[in-house]
């Protein structure tokens, strides 16, 4: 199994320790579910991003190798059970065919001894990860209010009035000999304007919302490390060498 990047043996990480209160199975025996000893935990593989132990480095005993050329295997921590009382690691996926045909185990070869004399300098750079989240941009308030306006509308109305006309009478018309006071009454009418108001629906307002997409450009500064090589015999190309690697610009 190729361990690169953020997967590192804890033995090579000087500033890493097991958190107090957590189990440290280094030196514990590794046994099968039936209790058969098959090896010993020699090291731990740490995921430096998640700060978790992902694999156990197990040195196999001869009886557990089953003809495999690799004496060490990586055992996935998801497929083991730790027993504090007996200081044992139970390999739940170990079967008759050994680790080679079982889930959760991978062949593991340590670095050559010559590698111990080599110094390593890593180069890092910032990667841009753009996400989105919904935020409130206020609210739309739609209501209504009453406005009053003064209107003027012409109206025609009728009324009665007295018409008096004097006419001469024919000669010889008889008069009332009593000569008494008398009067006649004529009722008069007129139209009166009556104002009536009633509400009438004239219009409706339909309110909804829609999603509008806008394209923005995100601008930021990205930092990266570059190697500064100042060594006798180094070529100009080596001195100005820049690291290569993929950049995730999502």
The per-residue pLDDT string of the chain (250 residues; one tens digit each, 9 = 90 and over) reads: 556 678 888 988 888 888 888 889 999 999 988 888 888 999 999 988 888 898 999 888 877 765 555 578 888 888 889 988 889 999 887 765 565 544 455 666 655 444 556 667 777 888 888 888 899 989 999 999 999 999 999 999 999 999 999 988 888 777 777 778 888 899 999 999 999 999 999 999 999 999 999 999 999 999 988 888 888 777 776 666 654 444 443 3
Count Cβ atoms within 10 A of the Cβ of residue 44 and give its class: 0-12 exposed, 13-18 middle, 19 or more buried: buried
d(CA 175, CA 182): 13
Could you tell me if 111 and 12 are in contact, meaning their C-beta atoms sit under 8 angstroms apart? no
Topology classification of domain 7-112: Photosynthetic Reaction Center; Chain H, domain 2 (3.90.50)
Residue 207 contacts by C-beta under 8 Å, 6 or more apart in sequence? 140, 142
Task: Copy the structure tokens of residue 183.
Answer: 């009067």
pLDDT for residue 157: 93
Could you tell me if 208 and 224 are in contact, meaning their C-beta atoms sit under 8 angstroms apart? no
Strand partners, 159: 190
Residues in the chain: 250
Residue 211 contacts by C-beta under 8 Å, 6 or more apart in sequence? none
Strand duo 72-76 + 37-47: pairing: unpaired
> If you compute the radius of gyration of the chain from its CA atoms, what whole number of angstroms results?
52
What 3-state DSSP class applies to 237? helix
Ramachandran area for residue 164 (φ above 0: left; ψ -120 to 50: alpha; else beta): beta
Strand partners, 202: none
d(CA 65, CA 100): 9
d(CA 28, CA 26): 6
d(CA 99, CA 71): 11
pLDDT for residue 108: 67
Handedness of CA 100, 33, 2, 113 (dihedral sign): negative
* Residue 193: HSE in the Cβ half-sphere, 13 Å Cα cutoff: 6
d(CA 243, CA 227): 7
Handedness of CA 207, 213, 214, 219 (dihedral sign): positive
């Amino acid at each position: 199994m190729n361990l690169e990047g953020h997967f590192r043996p804890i033995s090579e990480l000087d500033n890493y320790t097991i958190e107090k209160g957590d189990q440290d199975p280094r030196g514990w025996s590794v046994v099968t579910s039936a209790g058969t000893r098959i090896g010993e935990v020699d090291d731990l593989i740490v995921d430096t991003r998640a700060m978790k132990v992902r694999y156990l480095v197990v040195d196999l005993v001869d009886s557990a190798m089953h003809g495999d050329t690799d004496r060490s295997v990586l055992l996935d921590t998801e497929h083991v059970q730790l027993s504090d009382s007996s200081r044992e690691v139970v390999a739940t996926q170990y079967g008759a065919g050994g680790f080679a045909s079982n889930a959760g185990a991978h062949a593991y070869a340590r670095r050559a001894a010559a590698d111990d004399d080599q110094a390593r300098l890593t180069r890092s750079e910032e990667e841009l990860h753009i996400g989105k989240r919904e935020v409130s941009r206020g609210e739309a308030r739609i209501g209504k209010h009453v406005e009053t306006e003064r209107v003027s509308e012409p109206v025609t109305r009728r009324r009665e009035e007295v018409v008096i006309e004097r006419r001469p009478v024919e000669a010889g018309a008889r008069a009332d000999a009593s000569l008494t006071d008398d009067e006649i009454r004529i009722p008069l009418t007129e139209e009166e304007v009556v104002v009536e108001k009633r509400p009438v629906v004239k219009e409706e307002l339909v309110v909804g919302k829609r999603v509008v997409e806008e394209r923005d450009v995100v601008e930021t500064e990205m930092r990266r490390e570059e190697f500064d090589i100042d060594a006798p015999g180094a070529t100009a190309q080596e001195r100005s060498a820049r690291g290569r690697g993929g950049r995730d610009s999502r």
